[in-house]
Structure 1
Amino acid sequence: MPISELQISRIRNLQAPSFSPASRINIISGQNGSGKTSILEAIHFLSTTRSFRSNELRHLVTQGESSALVFSRVESSTHPLPLGVERTLEGDVRVRFDGRSLDSAELASLLPVQVLYSGTFELLDGSPSVRRQFVDWGGFHADPAFITLWRGFKRALKQRNSLLKYGKIDRFQMQVWDREFVSYGEQLTRHRQAYIARLLPEFKAILAVLLGDVDVDLKFYPGWDSKRDLTAVLADQFVRESAQGFTLSGPQRADLRFRCDGVNAADRLSRGQKKLVVSALRLAQGQVFRQKADRPCIYLIDDLPSELDEPHARLFCQFLEQSQDQCFITCVDPDTLTEFWSPDTDLALFHLDAGRLLSR
């Protein structure tokens, strides 16, 4: 659902900007520190009730205020529908869409966003949890059953870890939670594997265009030796787990592994090449989403020209243009990007100065 109207209140240093974005490409320019990334954060907040730069809401909310609020209108098949998200520093969340309340899963499904910013390099060189989040975003949007499996597994993992941590283990109770853990865990893993199998050819095709003859291999690791039964793995590790107080193997340890020329890709690739690999991953994820959901998502791209030369920036923009997704792109100098789009592309230019957003 493209955003046709956006009103931002009480977020960082923004001066309550209100604007009507284009349905396709929106370029937001401004000097460093002017608040460009905060615009992207506000859109991410509209989809997830949180920032992509910080886990703490207090860093997102304007100093001296007690809540953040973003109101929008999103396009539907008939007419624009109102969507508003407010979250207070105390943790209260209010989401209203077309007169009814939504929970977090319904909101994320309604307004799927893809983010590309400096922190997305963590997909290659960050912790496995970042890569699991990437996989689970795809699984969530690919199959309605995924969120039920994910929540069931998280509940079983939490209970199992609680029993291990406090050391008062009733063997019958542990067996009950082991069965839950294995049942949900194996189903969740199958969904993750199916998603990666669908993502991989799209990723390879896009990467071949963006990175040429540099080959990057992508493998999914489920979190344990997949040649062994998970129940047997848990049984073998029970003594160690009891001593350490947490579950050692399972889907909570799943990861994506990237190799280039036989070594860890994060150690071999340049920073510019890493950006292209991450870009290919996000573009492929958006493409798989469109194939499954038959609708576009929203791309939030911070400082697109950074670390990309002109040919690669142009190629990246061509993929965005072909995708039909709505894109919000920040940069310092808009002239570096405006020539990359065809004349019939719906393009809007905005300039941010001292927290105020102006159309160009």
Structure 2
Amino acid sequence: MARLEQLALTNFRCFEHLNWALAPGFNAVLGANAAGKTAIVEALWLLATGRSFRTARLNQVIRHQQNQAVVFAQVEGHRLGWSRTLQATTLRLDGQSVDTQAQLSKKLPLQLLTPESHRLLEEGPRLRRQYLDWGGFYHFSDFMAHWRPWRRALKQRNQALRLGQPLQAVQVWDGVLIQHGAALDVLRRAYLEEILPPLQRFVGALLPEVTASLSVHYRSGWRQGLTLAEALQESAPRDREQRTTTVGPHRADVRFRFDGVDAEVALSRGQQKLFVCALLLAQAKAFQQRHGRPVVMLIDDLPAELDADHRAHLLALLAEQGIQHVVTATDAALLPGVEQANTLQL
């Protein structure tokens, strides 16, 4: 079983020191507002992804008047470390420095649910692409072999466009974009096909009152009927005018609809949050089927917008799937089954 065994924080947000041993199943973090509950979730998310869901300025996680924040976790016998000084971030795995975040991410597959998770449905396509690429990263062994060179080529092509360089200097990157961008498109489509059956099952479990038919609509990021090579050729004048690459996987999107109506319109706010739970559970199921071990689920402020019955149902589903989960709340009474949880009181 994939298992987060221990978390230690030093000078992270409000914590001078924190050391917490976690249980395999239900882990609850309880405390008043501003006690540090979300900081614990943020620390784990930073360790697993290299990103904060609270700030783009990582120096803000360093405790006031300190020079370095450190996050350490023991995961299935591996030691994962993330530290941030005012100048740089350092990553460590089993005592050795590592160059890429992906090396830590592979050891700690985390999913995150916050009170803002409904933004995945309501806002632009960036968050939905991140959802797809989380799946691609963990599901396909060759995903990063395509994503890295495609991303590098896209960055170089956009720089050439911004500088107004000749067409030849722009198009020199097209071969790499086409080869790896088309491969990413294939992987994203294959991943959506794989998670659709479990997604439909979890929607039925969490939203039994919704009888409308769920459908998934994926857009590649270029005009339907064209290859990526044809789309790049067609978009060349527009790219030069806008000084950026206007077609490709970075413009992809996926929409979820109920009887043809977008989920953010068809569902209430509470139902949207439950639907995002179903999306995460579908990913968790696909991960477990592929790797034979579950993910770890982080849920910040579970009671937000979910009534007691839905909270109980979601926690029961997590237990049924064997998913280790870390859940925050202001009061133990808001978490059904908390008496069986491993509880950290702040």
| Correspondence for 1:328 | 326
Identify the range of structure 1 (18-27 vs 42-51) with the bigger mean alpha-carbon deviation: 42-51
| Correspondence for 1:53 | 54
Cα distance in 1 for partners of 2:167, 2:248 equals 21
Alignment-mate amino acid for residue 260 of structure 1? F
Cα distance in 2 for partners of 1:307, 1:194 equals 33
| Correspondence for 1:162 | 159
Contact 2:30 2:331 survives alignment (8 Å): yes
Helix, strand or coil for the counterpart of 1:220? strand
Cα distance in 2 for partners of 1:315, 1:65 equals 42
Among 149, 152, 157, the alignment partner of 1:152 is: 149
Residues 276-319 of structure 1: per-residue CA shift (max 9 Å, x gap): 11110111111111111111211110111221122211211111
Residues 106-145 of structure 1: per-residue CA shift (max 9 Å, x gap): 1000111100002322210122111111100100001121
| Deviation of the 1:88 alpha carbon | 1.7
Identify the range of structure 1 (43-52 vs 56-65) with the bigger mean alpha-carbon deviation: 43-52
Among 324, 339, 342, the alignment partner of 1:348 is: 342
Cα distance in 2 for partners of 1:288, 1:296 equals 9
Alignment-mate amino acid for residue 189 of structure 1? D
Alignment-mate amino acid for residue 226 of structure 1? Q
| Deviation of the 1:24 alpha carbon | 1.1
Cα distance in 1 for partners of 2:173, 2:9 equals 45
Alignment-mate amino acid for residue 74 of structure 2? R
Contact 1:318 1:340 survives alignment (8 Å): no
RMSD: 1.8
Helix, strand or coil for the counterpart of 1:53? coil
Helix, strand or coil for the counterpart of 1:110? coil
Alignment-mate amino acid for residue 245 of structure 1? R
TM-score by structure 2 length? 0.93
Contact 1:193 1:220 survives alignment (8 Å): yes
Cα distance in 2 for partners of 1:255, 1:34 equals 37
| Deviation of the 1:213 alpha carbon | 4.3
Alignment-mate amino acid for residue 29 of structure 1? L
Helix, strand or coil for the counterpart of 2:106? helix
Helix, strand or coil for the counterpart of 1:70? strand
Cα distance in 2 for partners of 1:48, 1:63 equals 24
Cα distance in 2 for partners of 1:107, 1:83 equals 7
Q: How does 1:120-269 map to 2 (within 5 A)?
A: 120-171=117-168, 173-214=169-210, 215=212, 216-269=214-267
Identify the range of structure 1 (266-275 vs 86-95) with the bigger mean alpha-carbon deviation: 86-95
Helix, strand or coil for the counterpart of 1:324? coil
Gaps of 5+ in 1: 353-360
Contact 2:308 2:336 survives alignment (8 Å): no
> Is 1:280 matched with 2:278?
yes
| Correspondence for 1:34 | 35
Helix, strand or coil for the counterpart of 2:173? helix
Alignment-mate amino acid for residue 139 of structure 1? G
Gaps of 5+ in 2: none
Cα distance in 1 for partners of 2:50, 2:271 equals 31
Helix, strand or coil for the counterpart of 1:120? coil
Cα distance in 2 for partners of 1:94, 1:339 equals 36
Alignment-mate amino acid for residue 223 of structure 1? G
Q: How does 1:292-303 map to 2 (within 5 A)?
A: 292-303=290-301
Identify the range of structure 1 (62-71 vs 129-138) with the bigger mean alpha-carbon deviation: 62-71
Contact 1:317 1:340 survives alignment (8 Å): no
TM-score by structure 1 length? 0.90
